[in-house]
Chain A
Amino acid sequence: MSYFQPIPELGEGPLVAEGTNFKVVTETVSRVTERKAPRGWWICFLIALSLVGVFTMTIGYLFWKGIGIWGNNSPCYWGWDITNFVWWVGIGHAGTLISAVLFIFRQRWRTAINRFAEAMTIFAVICALIFPGIHVGRPWVAYYMFPLPNQMGVWPNFKSPLLWDLFAVGTYFTVSLMFWLVGLIPDFATLRDRSTGRIRQMVYGVLALGWRGSNRHWKNYERAYLILAGLSTPLVLSVHSVVSFDFATSVEPGWHTTIFPPYFVAGAVFSGFAMVMTLLLIARTVFKMNHLVQMRHLELMNKIMLVTGSLVGYAYAMEFFTAWYSGSEYEMYVFINRATGPYAWAYWTMISCNVICPQLFWSRKLRRSIPVMFVVSILINIGMWFERFVIIATSLHRDYIPSSWGYFSPTVFDICTYLGTFGIFFTLFLLFIRWAPMIAIAEVKGILPEADPHYDPHGSHGAHGSREGSHGYALEPQGAE
């Protein structure tokens, strides 16, 4: 990690606010975990926990009665279950992108948000992974999906995209978790060192894996982090590509589309960033971290959303073109039906939220407005849920044989299951903010001027750690990598 030197000629500014030093960073982040939880946290936690209760009861009933408690039917054999799965996987996308890809591309501004985004990834993927397990008709034999040696000599069907999916998401989860935990090691050590209670010391001590901050530790740590980032980067592309194969390799009109892998990846990044934005804006306001998470960061994220949103919009348009160009009446019908059929409301919700909304970010004023970006980020989350719903429901409900056409309506249990995953997500998230450093302390420190101790020929700049004036930056070009 090394100090970020902004190049004023490029319009770059410092990544942290004036006056932020090591102590401020450590204090700001650590104190959240050390002080008594504020009342607001408890209220949120209890709400989230109640939703977990709702989820548990729903799933209990689901296992007791069967998938029939949901609205799934023939022809819509999949409904909210897979919609939620794909949506959560998509949300889980931003974390790795921010952490790994931006890390490799030396986008130092990521330090403000990466921990947050990674945590969100892990929790979102946990929520996603619940669905392949519970959406099957006989969950008690769901383990048949794993290649376990058995006396019947039956193996999973390696041709099935659903199996690829399981492996892809499983791998993604494992790597993301490792990446996150490795990144947390120095920060856990910070917390351990600040701990006064015995239990805290023990727990953080274990989590810090004996980190002492030695040069060798740093060297190994940075190497491991880089390797994991390298491993994660292809996963960013692979996970959602594989998820899209569930649809793309089928013969269903509306699913059988080669555009799906890039379209899904763009959509995933899009929705992931939107979710990070929603959560970050809340945390930033609640925990007063404006100096760490700056407007500049938010603006950069909004730009990414603008790009990915437009990519998604392009994909929507291209689907129509492909359908028309294919000459297949089934394919054409699905798309006409999407825009004008019984699910037109869902389609146009999707278009408004995903394509039209982000266009606001062309305006610098709007993309720097906290209320605007908050509303937009929520709308994008909604829009991306609808995107998955539109793909699944509108394609299935009217496919080849008109006699089998139907309509999908969710039941109260569909809603409870979906809300329940929010409960799981927020419970985990609230626990995370309460007990783990929500901003990567070590990494933020790495971009401070103090991270770049240097000889000052004028000797006029006082104590180590102060940041005054900008001319110092230009004098030490070797400080930047």
Chain B
Amino acid sequence: MTRRTPYPVNQLQPGAPIYWRSLEEREQYAEPSAFDALQKERAAEFTADELAAPSETNGFDRRGFLSIMGASMALAGAAGCRRPVEKIVPYTQMPEQVIPGIPSHYATVINRRGEALGLVVESHEGRPTKIEGNPEHPASRGAADLIAQASILDLYDPDRAKKPSRLSVDSSWTAFATELETELNSFRGEGGARLHILTEPTNSPTVLRLRAAIARSFPNAKFHSYAPVSNSNMREGARLALGQPLQVHVAYDRARVILALDSDFLQTETANVRSTRSFTGGRRLHSPRDTMSRLYVVEPSLTTTGTNADHRLRLPASQVFAYTAALAAYLHDNGTNLGEVGEAVKKLPKPDAVPAEWVSGVAKELMQAHGRSVVVAGSRQPAIVHALASAINQALGSVGVTMAYTTPVDPAEIDVVANIRELAEAIRHSDVGALLILGGNPAYDAPADLGFGALIKKVPFSVHFSSHVTETSKATTWQLPRAHEFEAWGDQRSIEGVYAIQQPLIAPLHDAKSDVELLAMIAATAETNGKELVHATLAETFHNGAMVEADWNRVLRDGVVRSSVYQAMTAVPIKSPEIATAIAAEIAKQPPTAADPLVKGVVEVAFAPDAKMFDGRYANNAWLQELPDPITKISWDNAATLSPKTAAENGVSDGDVIRLRHGGQVATIVAWVVPGQTDGTVGVHLGWGRTVSGRVGTGRGFDVYPLRTTESMSFVTGVRIEHAGERYPVSQTQEHNAMEGRPIAREATLATYKQKPHFAELQAPPPKTLPLWKKVVYAGHKWGMSIDLNACTGCNACVIACQSENNITVVGKEQVAKGREMHWIRIDRYFVGDGDNPAVAYQPLACVQCEEAPCENVCPVNATAHSPEGLNDMAYNRCIGTRYCANNCPYKVRRFNYLDFKGEFWHGSELVEYDKLPKTVKMAQNPNVTVRMRGVMEKCTYCVQRIQRAKIAAKNANRPMRDGEIVPACAQTCPADAISFGDLNNPSSRVARLSELDRKYKLLAEVGTAPRTTYLAKVRNPNSEMKG
């Protein structure tokens, strides 16, 4: 700092000009005595030594100190009161097609349980924010399921693995490459004999190509594929029945009768989006003259598919084979020739648990359908059930009508359980020198009897390639970050072969590589870049190596190669003798069935993939964690489901912690009583109780993998059920299951509908009283929505779609327990009828945008008001949070920000402003939707931002709005196409026509709210000859 001469204030020179402020002062100074006095005064205040130059020893004079103090105070003040400086740099060169504020859409594809689901991703200035289905893609046809919808949050998960780590110490890809090369070179001599690569089953041609390349470099290297939930049984069944592992395709929309054998094809099986589309397609009713399919479901636990059944039989999973055999035997005896299979099944005693009508009645229906029927076996059922189903379908003439076969994407894929057992054996015999685990989490989800987590540690060099640090990563030498599907190039073929390119939406957020890049690294191929690798596959597979840029661009734009569909096989002969032999073997194996399934203390446990966590890989996704289970409505946990009778028999009630013990295997889990569960069985969901996950997923729910062994991957009988002597708090979003006889989710049977098409409105007619005031005339647009309860399967995809589109916050388990979840749309699930095997009614409920909205009248500050187009708008800025509107909402669809949930959730109890959120979480948010602060009310807006966007687009193009131009997030993702939206003033719009269908009704219209959302009542199609 500079040293300046102090001001000579104490040396007032006589005769120096005096500065004066008033005449009096001047006179005062003019007197010499006064001048002296002034001089003395000043000298006293600023003594000479204080003002002298700083001494050499001291170094810090008063002035200097004050300067520093002053400067630092000023700086502190500046830092405290100014906004942080952020540079806003405009584009000097505009990137092509990026217009700030206008989102772009890119086609890509993600893997959903072995199926490629084509997507279109909305991207704001290079930041993907919202998933939609790709209308061009056959697996999607514009729809997506709940996990696909939630995958955007996985991309931005702040807990993802960020850089490669070696033994939990941060490292780099270069270090890994060096070590990998050394390792690989050491195996090269023996052709890679001690090199084992464990992958998940794949549908990616590039991965398969690179695998082949690795196999060329290391001919003796072993590839294993394992996934805890797979379609191995289906493939093995096809191998048994048809001689080759074929993919089964079902056209539910063409079937009149569907029999699902423990198959949850609407939710957790492969191709659920496609199945939902076609299933609801076969049940769409526009008039009483229309027909609809009839669904029979045989299953142990209540599933989404079971809740949509017209008839549902509760049967332990172990007895589904016996049931199928009995059905086959009946068909064979009554004119449907099943050949040797028919003879073989007759030897099986009829299962006691099955009512006779379920054999004869269903068989008659199947036969009467003349080929327009289909029998579907679930992936949980053993190969023999799949083979038997194929034989029945063949005999009924369904193949080629309601179902078909194609070759699978990876014909070499073999049974996953055998595969991982083989690998475990190899490790145990120290035959594995290097183990590369590419994806998956075997330490968590491999069969418990293998003790895979411990085995991995025995391998000298092990690598785990995964998006997160998981249980497996903790056991391996290396953890390598795997790029998210939206960050990396790749490709996938759908089950019928349609090729789609996985196009990255954003550069990897972290130091991650894609699957193909890592494989290329191992294979040491010429191309190392993901794009080049995929480009090469496409050129090789579909263009014989010669592909022009236009072809590539077209594929990128459309997201699909249309010509890539496999040839459907409809004339594959059934190998009856082989099936008959297998049936005979199975009969010999079958234990005698217990007459009474209710044995105290002993149950059969069936494992099912979770509708949200799937096999556990989505555990760190807060949207999915908070989403209620479609059946139990439990959020943030899983539970073992027991029937009321089983629970009573074992003295278990909701919230008791139980131990399920089979041999040495034990799983501890909270019990929950669910009507519809088969007596004597317990249903459990995989994918919970992760011990190494992120901040969201760790320790949520209960891990049931410890009970799952190589022998019992699907279900296990003779499990001891014990009390653990504890209680566990469970949060549910819906605690009351009955409709209390109220006309809420209205329904009728098809027969009733045909007699009384207006049954729904007759249940609670809208009021006929005249309005108290002049009716508002909506001259311009009049937005409305129609929700077809007959289509809705209760899958919950709309809930996540809405959460993603509207920046809806997650509140956490404790807040859900207090009933403070924020979902704008919810699926109400009601049990109807029989307490043991109830029917289920679903009702998606969001704000119905009442024309006479009770919420609007009571808001003291006008924060919720009606738009000229009839929307019930929320002005968040104006809301003071009296919550009166929510009290007065008969539908209870308003949601209040009781706390600063955005911050609360990520930082525990500590209050954190929105600014302190993990940056990536904020990136997932839709810039067109306000992020609500604590203390304000919010609710469904019919996606007003989309309405505005479409209106602006139409106005810019100077044209009237087209019907279907505005699609709210819920409607867009709905695989069942249950929701439609549009202008009610346009008589030809889809929504206007649907809102006038005979099944229409307005929920709680009798209150006088005049809702804009119209429901179309559900129609069930029961067989009048069956009792249950």
* A contacts, CB < 8 Å to B: 64-69, 71-78, 135-139, 141-142, 144-145, 154-157, 159-163, 166, 246, 249-252, 329-330, 333, 396, 398-407
A403 with B734: in contact, given A137-B883, A252-B888 (CB under 8 Å)? yes
B919 within 8 A of A: no
Q: Judge whether A251 and B890 touch: CB under 8 Å.
A: yes
Interface stretch (choices B271-279, B406-414, B895-903)? B895-903
B1007 contacts which of A136, A137, A251, A396 (Cβ < 8 Å)? A251
Q: Judge whether B740 and A402 touch: CB under 8 Å.
A: yes
B984-1028: which residues lie under 8 A (CB-CB) from chain A? 1004, 1007-1009
Q: What 1/0 flags go to B885-929 for Cβ under 8 Å of A? A: 011101110111111100000000001000000000000000000
Q: How far is the CA of A64 from the CA of B904 in the complex (A)?
A: 12
Q: Judge whether A400 and B858 touch: CB under 8 Å.
A: no
Q: Which residues from chain B contact A399 at a C-beta distance below 8 Å?
A: 890, 892
Q: Judge whether A66 and B897 touch: CB under 8 Å.
A: yes
Q: Which residues from chain B contact A68 at a C-beta distance below 8 Å?
A: 815, 818, 820, 898-899, 934
B351 within 8 A of A: no
Q: Judge whether A402 and B845 touch: CB under 8 Å.
A: no
Q: How far is the CA of A154 from the CA of B890 in the complex (A)?
A: 27
Q: Judge whether B935 and A160 touch: CB under 8 Å.
A: no
Q: Which residues from chain A contact B861 at a C-beta distance below 8 Å?
A: 144-145, 154, 156-157
Q: How far is the CA of A330 from the CA of B742 in the complex (A)?
A: 8
B486 within 8 A of A: no
A161 with B858: in contact, given A72-B883, A399-B890 (CB under 8 Å)? yes
A402 contacts which of B742, B818, B862, B883 (Cβ < 8 Å)? B742
B285 within 8 A of A: no
* B contacts, CB < 8 Å to A: 734-736, 738-742, 744, 815, 818-821, 826, 828-830, 843, 845, 854, 856-862, 878-884, 886-888, 890-892, 894-900, 911, 933-937, 1004, 1007-1009
Q: How far is the CA of A294 from the CA of B59 in the complex (A)?
A: 85
A406 contacts which of B819, B826, B887 (Cβ < 8 Å)? B819
Chain B interface, DSSP helix/strand/loop, else mixed: loop
Closest chain B CB from A244 CB (angstroms): 14
Q: Judge whether B1004 and A400 touch: CB under 8 Å.
A: yes
Leading 10 A-B pairs by shortest Cβ distance: A137-B881, A137-B935, A68-B898, A68-B899, A403-B828, A404-B892, A77-B883, A73-B819, A138-B935, A162-B860
Q: Judge whether A403 and B911 touch: CB under 8 Å.
A: no
Q: How far is the CA of A480 from the CA of B534 in the complex (A)?
A: 109
B826 contacts which of A135, A142, A154, A403 (Cβ < 8 Å)? A403
Q: Which residues from chain A contact B883 at a C-beta distance below 8 Å?
A: 67, 72, 77-78, 137
Q: Judge whether B934 and A144 touch: CB under 8 Å.
A: no
Q: Which residues from chain A contact B1009 at a C-beta distance below 8 Å?
A: 251
Q: How far is the CA of A205 from the CA of B895 in the complex (A)?
A: 55
Q: Which residues from chain B contact A71 at a C-beta distance below 8 Å?
A: 818
Q: Which residues from chain B contact A74 at a C-beta distance below 8 Å?
A: 819-821, 886, 892, 894-896
Q: Judge whether B892 and A156 touch: CB under 8 Å.
A: no
Q: What are 30 A-B pairs at a CB distance below 8 A?
A: A65-B900, A66-B898, A66-B899, A67-B899, A73-B818, A74-B820, A77-B883, A77-B886, A136-B935, A137-B897, A137-B937, A138-B880, A138-B881, A138-B936, A139-B880, A144-B861, A144-B880, A145-B880, A154-B878, A157-B857, A166-B860, A250-B858, A250-B887, A251-B1008, A330-B742, A333-B740, A400-B890, A401-B890, A401-B1004, A402-B742
Q: How far is the CA of A406 from the CA of B887 in the complex (A)?
A: 13
Q: Which residue from chain B places its CB closest to the CB of A141 in the assembled complex?
A: B880
Q: How far is the CA of A160 from the CA of B891 in the complex (A)?
A: 20
Q: How far is the CA of A328 from the CA of B539 in the complex (A)?
A: 69
Q: Judge whether A145 and B860 touch: CB under 8 Å.
A: yes
Closest chain A CB from B178 CB (angstroms): 52
Q: Which residues from chain A contact B815 at a C-beta distance below 8 Å?
A: 68
Q: Judge whether B881 and A401 touch: CB under 8 Å.
A: no
Q: How far is the CA of A404 from the CA of B889 in the complex (A)?
A: 11
Q: Judge whether A406 and B858 touch: CB under 8 Å.
A: no
Q: Judge whether B880 and A137 touch: CB under 8 Å.
A: yes
Q: How far is the CA of A399 from the CA of B880 in the complex (A)?
A: 24
Q: Which residues from chain A contact B830 at a C-beta distance below 8 Å?
A: 402-403
Q: Which residue from chain B places its CB closest to the CB of A328 in the assembled complex?
A: B1006
Q: Judge whether B888 and A400 touch: CB under 8 Å.
A: no
Q: Which residues from chain A contact B742 at a C-beta distance below 8 Å?
A: 329-330, 400, 402
Q: Judge whether B860 and A156 touch: CB under 8 Å.
A: yes
Closest chain B CB from A152 CB (angstroms): 8
A155 contacts which of B862, B900, B933 (Cβ < 8 Å)? B862
Q: How far is the CA of A267 from the CA of B740 in the complex (A)?
A: 33
Q: Judge whether A396 and B887 touch: CB under 8 Å.
A: yes
Closest chain B CB from A448 CB (angstroms): 50
Q: Judge whether B828 and A137 touch: CB under 8 Å.
A: no
B845 contacts which of A69, A162, A403 (Cβ < 8 Å)? A403
Closest chain A CB from B848 CB (angstroms): 11
A137 contacts which of B818, B856, B896 (Cβ < 8 Å)? B896
Interface centre among B830, B845, B860, B892, by most chain A C-beta atoms within 10 angstroms, is: B860
A156 contacts which of B862, B895, B1008 (Cβ < 8 Å)? B862
Q: How far is the CA of A149 from the CA of B487 in the complex (A)?
A: 52
Interface centre among A137, A330, A400, by most chain B C-beta atoms within 10 angstroms, is: A137
Q: Which residues from chain A contact B739 at a C-beta distance below 8 Å?
A: 402
Q: Which residues from chain A contact B1008 at a C-beta distance below 8 Å?
A: 251
Q: Which residues from chain B contact A142 at a C-beta distance below 8 Å?
A: 880
Q: Judge whether B882 and A162 touch: CB under 8 Å.
A: yes
Q: Judge whether B881 and A136 touch: CB under 8 Å.
A: yes
Closest chain B CB from A157 CB (angstroms): 4
Q: Which residues from chain A contact B896 at a C-beta distance below 8 Å?
A: 67, 74, 77, 137
Q: How far is the CA of A406 from the CA of B731 in the complex (A)?
A: 12
Q: Which residues from chain A contact B829 at a C-beta distance below 8 Å?
A: 403
Q: Judge whether A401 and B845 touch: CB under 8 Å.
A: yes
A77 contacts which of B826, B887, B911, B1007 (Cβ < 8 Å)? B887
Q: How far is the CA of A163 from the CA of B884 in the complex (A)?
A: 11
Q: Which residues from chain A contact B819 at a C-beta distance below 8 Å?
A: 73-76, 406
Closest chain A CB from B973 CB (angstroms): 21
Q: How far is the CA of A55 from the CA of B648 in the complex (A)?
A: 47
Q: Which residues from chain A contact B1007 at a C-beta distance below 8 Å?
A: 251, 400
Q: How far is the CA of A92 from the CA of B262 in the complex (A)?
A: 66
- Apart from A67-B881, A401-B892, A402-B742, what 20 extra A-B contacts exist at CB < 8 Å? A66-B897, A66-B934, A68-B818, A73-B820, A73-B898, A77-B884, A77-B886, A136-B881, A137-B936, A138-B880, A145-B880, A396-B887, A400-B1004, A401-B828, A401-B890, A401-B1004, A403-B826, A403-B830, A404-B734, A404-B892
Q: How far is the CA of A72 from the CA of B862 in the complex (A)?
A: 23
Interface centre among A166, A249, A330, A402, by most chain B C-beta atoms within 10 angstroms, is: A402
A137 with B884: in contact, given A163-B860, A402-B742 (CB under 8 Å)? no
Q: How far is the CA of A54 from the CA of B857 in the complex (A)?
A: 36
A65 with B899: in contact, given A156-B860, A251-B1007 (CB under 8 Å)? yes
Q: How far is the CA of A402 from the CA of B892 in the complex (A)?
A: 10
Closest chain B CB from A426 CB (angstroms): 28
Q: Which residues from chain B contact A155 at a C-beta distance below 8 Å?
A: 862
Q: Which residues from chain B contact A398 at a C-beta distance below 8 Å?
A: 736
A67 with B884: in contact, given A156-B862, A250-B854 (CB under 8 Å)? no
A251 contacts which of B845, B854, B859 (Cβ < 8 Å)? B854
A157 with B859: in contact, given A401-B828, A406-B819 (CB under 8 Å)? yes
Q: Which residues from chain B contact A77 at a C-beta distance below 8 Å?
A: 883-884, 886-887, 896
Q: Which residues from chain B contact A407 at a C-beta distance below 8 Å?
A: 735
Q: Which residue from chain B places its CB closest to the CB of A155 in the assembled complex?
A: B862
Q: Which residue from chain B places its CB closest to the CB of A152 in the assembled complex?
A: B878
Q: How far is the CA of A64 from the CA of B912 in the complex (A)?
A: 11
Interface centre among A250, A400, A404, by most chain B C-beta atoms within 10 angstroms, is: A404
Q: Which residues from chain B contact A252 at a C-beta distance below 8 Å?
A: 887-888, 890
Q: How far is the CA of A34 from the CA of B734 in the complex (A)?
A: 63
A160 with B898: in contact, given A77-B887, A251-B888 (CB under 8 Å)? no
Q: Judge whether A67 and B898 touch: CB under 8 Å.
A: yes
Q: Judge whether A160 and B858 touch: CB under 8 Å.
A: yes
Closest chain A CB from B1007 CB (angstroms): 6
